Amino acid sequence: MNRRQFIYGTALILSTPVSSHAIWPFSRKKAEVQDSDNIRGSIFKGDAPDKQGKWAHEAFLYKKLDNNKVLCGICPHRCLLSPGDRSVCRSKANIDGILYSLSYGNPCTVNVDPIEKKPLFHFKPQTKAFSVAAAGCNFRCLNCQNWEISQAKPGEVRHIELFPEDVVKAALKSGSESIACTYSEPVSFIEYMLDISRIAKEKGLSNLWISNGYINKEPLLELCKYIEGANVNIKSFSDDIYKKLNGGRLEPVLNTFKTMNEKGIHFEMTNLVVPGYTDDGEMVKRMCGWILANLGPGYPLHFLRFFPQYKLDRLAPTPLSTLENFREIAMKEGIHYAYVGNVPNHEGMNTFCHNCNKLLIKRKGYYIPEYNLSENRCKFCNTVIPGVWGKNIKAI
């Protein structure tokens, strides 16, 4: 066989229908494991405002370095900013060697929400949470529900002037029992949140932190002095998926849970079940194993249904049975309180006593038609139910 014959022969073989199946390079399995993408955000070079502006407030916890550079210490990104640079979260900027938070007192959205919407199922049920958010986030989640504010700079959004004292006044006026820093990522406006929390605590309001948990230990410890409840996302139990879908890392989030556990803060965890990414039963088992080993069985875990959102809009919603299955897995593994979320009136929204298995709280949307807790104990077996329970809760 000469060279030419060899080339012809090879071409013929390679192009047969049968071989095309065998050699086709982009088979499904290969695409599934291929996840080298990391969508981590980057610093915005030279994007800082020239002047501090009305809503600039010197940042909490940063280090001044040579040549007017600064190192932000709030989150694991640890942004090293030269003068004129803006942080990954878009909310902080180095102006002449000083790190400023740019979203102090200028929230872009304020609402009064049912606490169950956060979701917080074990924290003062049926109360209202005065919810505040400023622009910015240290993640780049492809499925962000609030991308309009989380992926925007403070100057790019409409905002309301509401300094910490005003927030607390407005919360009290609205009849809310708590103030929730939520929607975008409160870590990016921690200075504002801390000041609100200090005043709110003095006035008898609870402080809630609804977050991705991507924060360093030192600022978290400061925050723990004021917050009473939190809902922190555990977006997946895979560092690769964190990099690919969220632009973050898993380990710092796990550390956040450990710290809050040590500090005795009530928190609930939410896990969004994204088809093709986080809908892996084995991963859920590993996640539950870690929770049990490090935090114990008492913290509620919510499995939320995914809907196509923002940039991740070409995936189907999560099948209900996947959520039900995960709830079962979690409870079998030993988690006492596992819930199904984003599914109207699902049985998995109800709370059952982990000791006697009787129905403690029946939920219909944001209503509670049945409530069987006496203060923080099961009415049937007197077991203490973890959480922060309100007084005089009536079934509606």
Partner 1 sequence: MFNILKRKNESPVLLVVIATGISSVATQLLTIRELLAQFQGNEFVIALILFSWLVQGGIGTFFSQLYIKRGSPSAKFLCFLSLLVASLPALQILLIRELRDVLFIHGSSVGFYHTFAFVFFTTAPYALLIGFVLPYSLFVLRAFRPDYPGTYVYMVDNLGDIAGGAFFSFFLVYFFSPFQSVFISNIFILGATFLLLLNSGVGHIKAIAGVCVALTFLVSGIFLEKESLLPRKGSLAYYKESKYGRIAVHKDKEQFTLVADGVPVFSNQNTSNAEEDIHYPLSQVSATKNILIISAEGGIMEEVEKYHPKSIDYIELDPEVSGALFRFGLLKNIPGLNVINQDGRSYLAHADKIYDAIIINLPEPETYQINRFYTDGFFYLARKRLSPGGVLSFSMEGYDSYLAEPQRQKISSVHKTISRHFTNVLLLPGEKIYFLASQNPVNADIPGLLDKKKIKTDYISNFFYGNLTEERIRNLNELIDRSAPVNTDNYPQLMHIMFSQWFAKFSTSPLVFILLLSTVSIIYLFCIKKEEFVLFSTGCMEMGTEVLVIFAFQIFFGYIYIKIGLIITVFLAGLFPGAWAGNKIANQHNKFSRTSLVISDGILILLTILLILIFFKGGDKIPLSVFLIYGFLVSMTCGFQFPTALKLMGDSNPSVTRLFSADLIGAAAGTLLISVAIIPYFGIIWAAFALIGLKLISMIVMRLSKA
> Which residues form the interface with partner 1 (CB under 8 A)?
8, 11-12, 15-17, 20-21, 24, 26, 28, 31-32, 34, 37, 39, 108-109, 111-114, 116-117, 131, 133, 142, 145-149, 151-152, 157-158, 183, 244-245, 274-277, 279, 307-308, 310-317, 319-322, 343-345, 364-367
Least separation in angstroms between residue 295's CB and partner 1 is 28
When the beta carbons of 109 and 271 are compared against partner 1, the nearer one is 109
Least separation in angstroms between residue 63's CB and partner 1 is 29
When the beta carbons of 265 and 323 are compared against partner 1, the nearer one is 323
When the beta carbons of 65 and 320 are compared against partner 1, the nearer one is 320
Least separation in angstroms between residue 66's CB and partner 1 is 32
When the beta carbons of 296 and 365 are compared against partner 1, the nearer one is 365
Least separation in angstroms between residue 170's CB and partner 1 is 11
When the beta carbons of 113 and 370 are compared against partner 1, the nearer one is 113
Least separation in angstroms between residue 29's CB and partner 1 is 10
The stretches of 182-296 forming alpha helices (DSSP H) are: 190-202, 217-224, 239-241, 250-263, 281-294
Taking phi over 0 as left and psi of -120 to 50 as alpha, with beta for the rest, 305 belongs to beta
Residue 354 to residues 23, 360, 378, 388: CA-CA distances in angstroms?
53, 10, 9, 16
Least separation in angstroms between residue 195's CB and partner 1 is 21
Task: Convert 128-184 into a string of H (helix), E (strand) and C (coil).
Answer: EEEEEECCCCCCCCCCCCCHHHHCCCHHHCCCCCCCHHHHHHHHHHHCCCEEEECCC
Exposure b/e, 145-170, CB count within 10 A at least 16 = b = ebbbbbbbbbeebebeebbbeebbeb
When the beta carbons of 157 and 168 are compared against partner 1, the nearer one is 157
Phi, psi of 331 (to 5 degrees): -70, -35
Question: Percentage helix, strand, coil, to 5, in the chain?
Answer: 30, 20, 45
Hey, is 15 helix, strand or coil? coil
CB 376 within 8 A of CB 390: no
CB 219 within 8 A of CB 89: no
Least separation in angstroms between residue 314's CB and partner 1 is 5
Residue 349 to residues 183, 257, 302, 304: CA-CA distances in angstroms?
22, 23, 9, 11
When the beta carbons of 197 and 322 are compared against partner 1, the nearer one is 322
CB 94 within 8 A of CB 69: yes
When the beta carbons of 129 and 291 are compared against partner 1, the nearer one is 129
Least separation in angstroms between residue 41's CB and partner 1 is 11
